[in-house]
Amino acid sequence: MSNSLHNVIAQVEQVILGKPHQIRLALACLLARGHLLIEDLPGVGKTTLAHALARSLGLQFQRIQFTSDMLPADILGVSIFQRDSNEFKFHPGPIFAQMILADEVNRAMPKTQSALLEAMEEQQVTMEGVTRALPSPFFVIATQNPTYQIGTFPLPESQLDRFLMRIQLGYPDAQAERGLLAGVERREIVAKLTPQMEAAELLALQQQVRQVFVSPALLDYVQAIVRHTRESARYVHGLSPRAGLSLLAAARAWSLLDKRAAVIPEDVQAVLPGVASHRLQSVQDVQRQDGDKLARELIEAVAIP
């Protein structure tokens, strides 16, 4: 595996202090061709993480700040009539970039949200009968504020499922906080970051992830996990087949980050909270606040076969 991947990790760790696990999860999500949802309070470094990742990976970066009055055209782009050439010309929206930071995605109206999510899913934009491919690689990091905050339109379950992972950053620990407070301003550091790899290299790595070996014994384990969520009375719904596929893809990417050629149960366990927490809902919890706890319980409930 290329060292540049580790340079990327090292570089991002300089910016986001004390969160190596979340950084690796974000990278794994990217390598598994998934999209990432970061859910946390404002000001814990969601935007900085996305920014640092984009710069380190050498991707075109676009930030879209979602607001409640935003329309789909604000994301996808708009065709404007050109008086001199007497025809409509398409002005691509901010979504035509390799890495999108969709900030506070749950503040937009459902109509706008679904425009973004459709583009994420299809990797293309269709407007006025013309289909335009999005760039490759294409990676969306969406952030959302906790759903109980005012002025939010929570993402429906079907749309949550389109994110490969949901992670939470949380407050930094004391040591990291001290480093943050004592150090230079994050924005300056991000501005100075240099790309550690090219887009082509990232695509090659994404290809490599698909070739990480998965043994029958490991498939047994993934199946046992999925089966448990479906059979247990603890959850409103079990994990979907797509969730199972996502879990496997993320575990493969995690294993690649660990420089291994085969997936082991620990890989699955490492990515499971990220992959499953936004897909699982406890029967006691309507607010979906304890996804992480549920995922940890899930790990402990399923024996490794």
Partner 1 sequence: MNLPSTLIYGLLLCVLMVCAPHAAHLPSWVSVESAALLGWCAYLTRNKLALPARWLLGALMLGDVIGILASFHTLFGRDASTTLLILLTAFKQLEVRNLRDATMTIYLACFIIVTNFFYTQTIAAALYMLATLLLIVTVWLHLHGDTLPLKARLRLAAIMLMQAVPLMLVLFILFPRVQGPLWGLPQDAYGSSGLSDTMSPGSLSKLSLSDAVAFRVTFNGEPPRHTQMYWRGPVLWKFDGKTWQAGRATSAQAPQLDSLDSASDYTVTLEPHNKTWLFTLDMPTSISIPAQLTYDFQMVRTAPVNARLRYNAHSQLGYRANADEDPRQLQRALNLPPNLNPRARQLAAEWRARLPGDVAVVNAALEHFRREDFHYTLEPPALGSNEVDDFLFGTRHGFCEHYASSFVFLMRAAGIPARVVTGYQGGEYNDLGGYYIVRQSDAHAWAEVWLKERGWVRIDPTAAIAPARVQSGLVAAMPDSAALPFLARMQSPLLLKLRFDLDALAFQWNQWVLSYDPERQFALLTRLGMESVSLQQMALDMMLGLALLVGLYTLFMLRRLQVRDSDAVQRLYLRFCRKLEKTGIARAAHEGPRDFAMRAAQAQPQQAAAITDITARYMALRYGKAPDPMALQVLRRMVAAFRL
203 binds partner 1 (CB under 8 A): no
Work out how close the CB of 10 gets to partner 1 at its nearest, in angstroms, rounded to a whole number: 23
The size of the interface with partner 1 (CB under 8 A), counted in residues, is 20
302 binds partner 1 (CB under 8 A): yes
218 binds partner 1 (CB under 8 A): yes
Four-residue CA torsion sign, 249, 254, 260, 266 = negative
Q: Which string of x and - marks every residue 27-66 that binds partner 1 (by CB under 8 A)? A: ----------------------------------------
Judged by phi (left if over 0) then psi (alpha if -120 to 50, else beta), residue 43 lies in left
| 161 C-beta neighbours (distance < 10 Å), count | 17
Quick one: which segment of 29-37, 176-184, 211-219, 241-249 binds partner 1 (CB under 8 A)? 211-219
305 binds partner 1 (CB under 8 A): yes
CB 36 within 8 A of CB 167: yes
209 binds partner 1 (CB under 8 A): no
1 binds partner 1 (CB under 8 A): no
* 3-class SS of residue 80: strand
217 binds partner 1 (CB under 8 A): yes
CB 57 within 8 A of CB 99: yes
Work out how close the CB of 203 gets to partner 1 at its nearest, in angstroms, rounded to a whole number: 23
269 binds partner 1 (CB under 8 A): yes
Look-up of token digits 């040591």: 175
CB 267 within 8 A of CB 258: yes
Residue 191 vs 262, nearer CB to partner 1 = 262
DSSP conformation class of 163 = S
Residue 217 vs 283, nearer CB to partner 1 = 217
Residue 226 vs 263, nearer CB to partner 1 = 263
280 binds partner 1 (CB under 8 A): no
Work out how close the CB of 224 gets to partner 1 at its nearest, in angstroms, rounded to a whole number: 10
Contacting partner 1 (CB under 8 A), which of 265, 282, 290, 293? 265
DSSP conformation class of 106 = G
259 binds partner 1 (CB under 8 A): no
DSSP conformation class of 239 = -
| 115 C-beta neighbours (distance < 10 Å), count | 23
301 binds partner 1 (CB under 8 A): yes
Query: In whole angstroms, what is the distance from residue 96 CA to residue 221 CA?
Result: 39
Query: In whole angstroms, what is the distance from residue 13 CA to residue 10 CA?
Result: 5
303 binds partner 1 (CB under 8 A): yes
Burial class (CB in 10 A: 0-12, 13-18, 19+), 173: exposed
Query: In whole angstroms, what is the distance from residue 29 CA to residue 271 CA?
Result: 9
Query: Is cis: bond before 137, omega within 30 of 0?
Result: yes
Look-up of token digits 């090659």: 204
262 binds partner 1 (CB under 8 A): yes
Quick one: which segment of 10-18, 148-156, 237-245, 261-269 binds partner 1 (CB under 8 A)? 261-269
Quick one: which segment of 28-36, 78-86, 256-264, 284-292 binds partner 1 (CB under 8 A)? 256-264
299 binds partner 1 (CB under 8 A): yes
250 binds partner 1 (CB under 8 A): no
**Chain contacts with partner 1 (rule: CB under 8 A):** 213, 215-218, 220, 261-266, 269, 299-305
